Structure 1
Amino acid sequence: MTYRSSCHCGNVAIEVEGTIDQAISCNCSICQRKGSLLWFVPKAQSKLLTDDANAATYLFNKHLIRHRFCKTCGMHPYAEGKDPKGNEMVAVNVRCIEGIDLASVPVMEYDGRSK
């Protein structure tokens, strides 16, 4: 299935191919504040639909995840990083996917605050 995740104003959008079998709710200092529900997919299964310059990047803690957000509306539709094996990944904010029924997505709690 192909999904589109975008910011509120549409200046940052990404298309992702895959099956949403679960989303991660992380309690780290940034995810908790954003309220993100993250779906991790290999970067090769994603395609940026808008100009990369439309998104700003925020790095914190160990600088392992590039949190991408819209310079205009501030929404965070996705992030980029690597999994523990070094594979490039995209963390899609499921709350920014168009037309999705959030109640149908199982959510797993992740203790990012303690990591």
Structure 2
Amino acid sequence: MLKSYRGSCHCGAVHFECQLDLAPVGQRSKPELDGVWWTSSFRCNCSWCAKTRFWKGFARPAGFRVSSGRELLTEYRFDGAEIRHTFCSRCGVHPFATASFEPMGDFVAVNIACLDGVTPEELAAVPITYEDGRNDAWDRPPAVTSYL
């Protein structure tokens, strides 16, 4: 079920609101667009996700807004510079990233760990898809996922 969430960085300088579907499999609403990105959360072993422990849930841009602290966000890009990784310039937490890829279109990758008020039980029920970004094999999990 698509639901409204609020999130923030560690120091509380950056706040955002988003619409995500974190419901377990079988309880999720039909996504606006086709594709696995809207039916799961993702854990990846690429250099960025592995080092930052980024746990992403995808939101459509219309379902996301920074409610405070936009001026404190710093952007980091690497490799092909296609993804705009953002982080709080005060505490260093990375609450979201934005990009546009075919066939996904425009999206916001929300760091699920930055959502406020989500219970441990809710987090434990969020479906996770593992990606082998280290080997550019985004359509399959890496051989070992327990550390992600």
TM-score by length of 1: 0.92
Q: Distance in 1 between matches of 2:55 and 2:20?
A: 16
CA contact (8 A) 2:46 2:133 kept: yes
5 Å-filtered alignment, 1:72-91, equals 72-85=90-103, 87-91=105-109
Quote the offset at 1:86 in angstroms.
Answer: 6.5
Structure 1: runs of 5+ lacking an equivalent = none
What secondary structure is seen at the aligned counterpart in 1 of 2:117? coil
CA contact (8 A) 2:20 2:57 kept: no
What secondary structure is seen at the aligned counterpart in 1 of 2:22? coil
Q: Distance in 1 between matches of 2:59 and 2:4?
A: 12
Structure 2: runs of 5+ lacking an equivalent = 24-39, 137-148
Quote the offset at 1:5 in angstroms.
Answer: 1.9
Structure with greater contact order relative to length (CA < 8 Å, sep ≥ 6): 1
Quote the offset at 1:87 in angstroms.
Answer: 2.0
Q: Deviations over 1:65-89 (max 9, x none)?
A: 1001000000011111113236211
Aligned length, in residue pairs: 115
2:29 aligned partner: none
- Is 1:30 matched up with 2:48? yes
- Residue from 121, 131, 146 that aligns with 1:110: 131
- Residue from 13, 16, 26 that aligns with 1:14: 16
Q: Report sequence identity in percent.
A: 36
Structure 1 residue runs of 4 or more that deviate by more than 4 Å after TM superposition: none
- Residue from 58, 61, 67 that aligns with 1:40: 58
Quote the offset at 1:18 in angstroms.
Answer: 3.0
Quote the offset at 1:17 in angstroms.
Answer: 1.5
| RMSD, matched Cα | 1.4
TM-score by length of 2: 0.73
Larger radius of gyration: 2
